[in-house]
C-alpha cells in the first residue's frame, strides 16, 4: 500500500531526507569517530516551541530560512504576516513545507537565490550552522544574502565547542546515507568567526537548552528587534 508519507519520500533522496520521516523513530547523526548525536526530529514536525518563539520575535521580513526542513518556522512567520521563504536541498522538506501552506525552494544556500542582499533576516537554526562543514564559508555566504541593515539569527551549541567532521544520518532500522561534511559551534567560536568576517554579534540569548545569537554587518544601522522591544 502506498501512503502519503511514501509518496513524499524517495529512497534515492539525499540522506538528510531520513531525518524528515516523521513517526519512523529516532534519527541520529553518526560521526566518523563513532559518536552518535540524536537529531531533534520531533521538534521539526511540531508547532514552534518557546525557544523557537524567541527567534520568531526577532524576525523582520522578508525572512530566508536556510535548511527549513518541514517548514515550521516559515509557516509560523507567514501566520504572523511576515513573509518567509525556506530553502532546503531535500525534495521531501520542500514538499512538506509547501503542502502545509509554507513557501520553499529546493536549493542549496550556495546556489543562486532570490533577492540576494535583500533579506532582512536569515535564519540558521536547528544546527544548520553546520551546513557544508565550513561555518566561516557559510556565514560569509549568508552575510552576502542579507540587506545592509539585515541580520543573521544563528543557533549554536549550549557549550563551547568547535568541531568540523564528516557524518551521516542513520536510524534504528540500520538505514544510513553516505558521509557528508558537518560542523558544530558554540558561542565563543561563533564570535571569533563573526569578527573575522566583519560581522557584529548584536544579541545573544538562551532558552531552555538552546542558545542563539544575532549577527549584523559591522557599522550597519541594524534594526532587527530584540525581545525587549516586542
Q: At what angle do helices 135-143 and 187-196 cross, to 10 degrees?
A: 60
- Domain of residue 44, residue span: 4-229
pLDDT at 1 over 60: no
Number of domains in the chain: 1
Which CATH number fits the domain that encloses residue 78?
3.40.50.150
For all residues of the chain together, what is the average pLDDT? 87
* pLDDT confidence bin for 114, thresholds 50/70/90: very high
pTM, 2 dp: 0.89
pLDDT at 148 over 50: yes
Question: Which residues have CB under 8 Å from 168's CB, separation 6+?
Answer: 15, 29, 30, 176, 177, 178, 179, 180
- Residue 127: the pLDDT is 92
Q: Between 38 and 78, name the one with better pLDDT.
A: 78
Give 64-74 pLDDT, tens digit per residue: 999 999 999 99
* pLDDT confidence bin for 224, thresholds 50/70/90: low
In contact, 87 and 65? CB cutoff 8 Å:
yes
CB burial class (10 A; 0-12, 13-18, 19+) of residue 118? middle
pLDDT at 170 over 60: yes
The C-alpha cell of 56 is what? 520568531
pLDDT at 50 over 90: yes
- Pick from 7-16, 52-61, 127-136: least confident: 7-16
Rounded average pLDDT over 90-94: 89
Amino acid at each position: 500500500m502506498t501512503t502519503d508519507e511514501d509518496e513524499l519520500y524517495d529512497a534515492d533522496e539525499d540522506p538528510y531526507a531520513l531525518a524528515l520521516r516523521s513517526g519512523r523513530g529516532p534519527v541520529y547523526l553518526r560521526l566518523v569517530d563513532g559518536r552518535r548525536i540524536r537529531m531533534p526530529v520531533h521538534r521539526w514536525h511540531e508547532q514552534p516551541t518557546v525557544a523557537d518563539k524567541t527567534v520568531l520575535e526577532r524576525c523582520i521580513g522578508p525572512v530566508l530560512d536556510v535548511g527549513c526542513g518541514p517548514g515550521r518556522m516559515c509557516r509560523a512567520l507567514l501566520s504572523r504576516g511576515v513573509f518567509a521563504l525556506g530553502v532546503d536541498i531535500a525534495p521531501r522538506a520542500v514538499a512538506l513545507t509547501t503542502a502545509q501552506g509554507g513557501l520553499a525552494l529546493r536549493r542549496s544556500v550556495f546556489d543562486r537565490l532570490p533577492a540576494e542582499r535583500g533579506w532582512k533576516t536569515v535564519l540558521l537554526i536547528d544546527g544548520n550552522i553546520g551546513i557544508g562543514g565550513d561555518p566561516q564559508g557559510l556565514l560569509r555566504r549568508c552575510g552576502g544574502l542579507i540587506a545592509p541593515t539585515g541580520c543573521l539569527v544563528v543557533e549554536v551549541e549550549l557549550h563551547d565547542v568547535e568541531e568540523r567532521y564528516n557524518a551521516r544520518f542513520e536510524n534504528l532500522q540500520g538505514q544510513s546515507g553516505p558521509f557528508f561534511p558537518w560542523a558544530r559551534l558554540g558561542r565563543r567560536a561563533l564570535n571569533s568567526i563573526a569578527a573575522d568576517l566583519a560581522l557584529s554579534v548584536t544579541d545573544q540569548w538562551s532558552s531552555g537548552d538552546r542558545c542563539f545569537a544575532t549577527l549584523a554587518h559591522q557599522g550597519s544601522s541594524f534594526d532587527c528587534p530584540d525581545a525587549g522591544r516586542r
